[in-house]
Structure 1
Amino acid sequence: MLVELKVKELINEVDSPKPAPGGGSVAALSSTLGIALAKMVAHLTFNKKKFLELDDIIRHDYLENFAILTNIKEELVKLIDEDTASFNEFMKALELPKNTEEEIQIRKEALKQATLKAIEVPYKVMLNTVKALEATVKMMPFGSKNAISDIGVGALLLYSGLEGAILNVLINLKGLDDESLVEEYQKACETNLAKGKLLKHQILDYVYETLK
């Protein structure tokens, strides 16, 4: 499993002649690291006097969004490996025999299912990353100002993960024949990309303003 590798081992696994792990797994990793930074800031915030003096409702919401980030992080960790696994399944489907009509149909169906899986994994990364950005925006004003730059780096990693996931959805859509489904995925990508850009800018504007 990729997530069990040491950092240097993972870097070298990507930096190899093998086509996987590639951009999909790296995008999921980027989002995961972005969440880890947002959560790190929260860990540094919990026992601060200013945080403890906040209204109970604000602290409750902060903890709720922290829990949301925890759940998303766990999901994304799984998707890091799932993306590479889905690519490998597609390659296996390509290698299926196509000598008879029956074999051709079996191969065609296997390719369709593998393509759908290869789309669905980065699609999940996209949706989860937008949710993580939303949670980060809500937590941001109450986090430790001493770690404000970490929130900024986290936002950049999350956005890279988001757009990276979208690129992987779009390239895999080329293998799908269902035009209505392709259009549905494309619209979702456009919507979430626009949403992600706004959230990223909202975070970075706040970070830069705080750093003045």
Structure 2
Amino acid sequence: MNLIDLKVNEFINEVDSNSPAPGGGSVSALAASLGVGLSRMVSHLTFNKKKFLELDEKIRTQYEDNFITLNNIKEELIPLIDKDTYAFNQIMNAFKMSKETDEDKQKRIEAIEKATLEAIKVPYEVARLSYKALELVEKMMTYGNKNAISDIGVGCLLLYAGLEGALLNVKINIGGLSDAEMVKVYQSSYETLLHEGKELKEKILEFVHSKL
């Protein structure tokens, strides 16, 4: 059964076990998915409000477009909850491969490299999507239902948890790559996403606190 098909308490107990997966990567993807869901909830509570309906049509259209884009992001994030655990398991399987002959050893090395790269790509995608969602939340927060302002804040915190949590998984797996150029690319992207994501988070939370 896929993780996303588990009941909430089943998922929590699956994490709370002696198995290393699902771990921080899958939980980060879940956090980001919830962050998007909560951000969209605010929009659901905004659309029919008088203040929103009185806004300029261009503003309303852009807000609605961003709302749709957030849903697309959510739909991309949800499968990554399971993909992260699958990627981790592939690494474990690669390490268990035979080392009896030189050919076996080479196949094992190649399998580990391939699995490690996938275990980097999945959380990196979680981080990228989380950042993209934070950008949209920052654009939409001014027009959201003020009675749900705290939900904007919680959604932001969940998205940032997804972003930084995923990047921690990227960072820990980078050390397993033998391709120096690939390492540089991911390290640079890691630093950029982390820095810019933190700035967005702080900007959103500053706005939220100013309205409470």
TM-score bracket for this pair, using the shorter chain length: over 0.9
Structure 2 matches for 1:10-21, cutoff 5 A? 10-21=11-22
5+ unaligned residues in a row in structure 2: which ranges?
none
Structure 1 stretches of 4+ moved >3 Å: none
TM-score normalised over the length of structure 1: 0.98
The equivalent of 2:43 in structure 1 is 42
The equivalent of 2:26 in structure 1 is 25
What is the distance in 1 between the residues matched to 2:198 and 2:171? Answer: 18
CA offset digits 1:152-171 (Å, max 9, x no partner): 00101111111000000000
The equivalent of 1:167 in structure 2 is 168
**AA of the residue aligned to 2:63:** Y
Tell me, what secondary structure is at the counterpart of 2:110?
helix
Structure 2 matches for 1:163-202, cutoff 5 A? 163-202=164-203
**AA of the residue aligned to 1:191:** T
**AA of the residue aligned to 2:46:** T
5+ unaligned residues in a row in structure 1: which ranges?
none
The equivalent of 1:106 in structure 2 is 107
TM-score normalised over the length of structure 2: 0.98
What is the distance in 1 between the residues matched to 2:206 and 2:176? Answer: 39
1:115 CA drift (Å): 0.3
CA offset digits 1:12-62 (Å, max 9, x no partner): 000000000000000111111111110000000011111111111000110
**AA of the residue aligned to 2:168:** L
Q: Does 1:87 align with 2:88?
A: yes
The equivalent of 1:62 in structure 2 is 63
1:177 CA drift (Å): 1.0
CA offset digits 1:183-210 (Å, max 9, x no partner): 1101101001111111101110100101
What is the distance in 1 between the residues matched to 2:171 and 2:149? Answer: 33
How many residue pairs are counted as aligned between the two chains?
211
Identity of aligned residues (%): 59
1:178 CA drift (Å): 1.2
The equivalent of 2:118 in structure 1 is 117
RMSD: 0.6
